[in-house]
Structure 1
Amino acid sequence: MRHEVITLPGTGAELEIYLADNRAVEPERRRPLALIFPGGAYAWRSDREAEPVALRLLSLGIQAAVVRYSVAPVRYPKALEEAAEAVAYARAHAGEWLCDPHRIAVMGFSAGGHAAAHIGLKWHQMPQGKTCRPDAMILSYPVITSGEYSHRESIENLLGDEYENLKDEVSLEKFVREDTPPVFLWHTREDGCVPVENSLLLAEALCRKGIAFELHIWQQGEHGLSLSSDQVYPAGAESIRAECREWIEMAARWLRAI
């Protein structure tokens, strides 16, 4: 496995890459790649949604890179600019990284889901153009809206003093277009932090525009489940929901099939 930290030359954000290299046996194989955006309310980045997820993806045949995007006190649009550069950089290095340049997904958790969805929905506004368009989005209990069901803390951390002026600009359910990439979404009904309506609002917008998506909602499970296993929780923790653990295998199958 190749593991290293890369500083992106434009924005200065860091990419921590986890790449399988099986060229001795499969010289032509090119795997999908997931760019992982951990959650943390745009105030910090959760380690539970970073390396453990990357290593699990590797075990499922998906190359992985964790995006260390900017959080408060750095404000919008810095994280969006970093996400754009991360996607474009990964695509430019697809050959070296042994990944398929047409199966580069952004994968985000909670506020990281907002960062991932942001580039998936606004890639056309970025200077990199189509090179920063992800081929798919995989969103875990994402922050999407700045409206009634908002996780206000995340949006305030993203916008700072410009909250009132810019909150509509980052309410992502409003920006679905006919060229939006396909989306895999999952959430839990009893999420007490980021309401499930965030995923439902995005799914409704995708449906209206005819965009392919897959949506899974489990009834039970707290916010921030990550892998929902003892890799990210103490063994036997009540927070672990075995049924939710299936999401990552489902997402990997979905990504390979698009």
Structure 2
Amino acid sequence: MPFQSPALLIGVSARIYYPSGPVLDLGGVWTKTLHFLEQSVAQWLMRGGALPVMVPAVDAQSVVQTEELNLGHYAQALDGLVLQGGNDVAPASYGEVPIAPEWAGDPVRDAYEKSLIEAFVKAGKPVFGICRGLQMLNVAFGGTMWQDIGTQMPQALPHVRSEMYERNVHALEIVPGTHMAALYPGLQHGMINSIHHQSIKDLAPDFVVEAHCPDDGVIEAIRRRGPGFVAGVQWHPEFRQKNCQVIFDDTPLLRDFLASARAQQSN
């Protein structure tokens, strides 16, 4: 879809790269914390005619301090928010202790994204979560997570295969009567990519499940009840290849999110 006028500006939460040693002493980006927007997410939004804008994060080590970054200004200036994928949600963010050191997650990003969610919801702007983004929405509104599907849900399918990455796929079942079902009339099943080792354990209050994996019950899509637009999917719609008939067509999801953003723009 071509660029739409007036411009539809969609904020995207920053992914965070932390330098890990040992690294070559080359200086530059290799030794700095980086905030970045994944190209595929940006292009996914651009295909819908929107302009993606990455919203920066700050932490205790930043030159700009938290009190100097008013995320409410971003929520007022932008038309919607996408939470992109990335590092694990920290168990500490939902009141648990990591069951393994490698699953400690990213509490800095959690706090930043929770503040972003609060700002955009308060401003009445739509929020859409992708993979970790779905998980962060669940946690931000009071839900919890399985820290590792393989360990805590041994009966489940392998929802991540590092050697396959986005080529790892499994079945999806849409829950009848939901908003997602209305977006896909006559369609209840599909195939989605799967690149996650955490999943929703306790669903946040006031949320409904819109889709799940029929083989093991893992929640794959959620939406908040009531007014406004707060929803997320566990898969990566931005990784779907153009004209691919095998993987679930996420175009209706993107159009629905951007239509909500456009509606808020005109208010």
State the TM-score, normalizing by the size of structure 1.
0.38
Greater fraction of residues in helix: 1
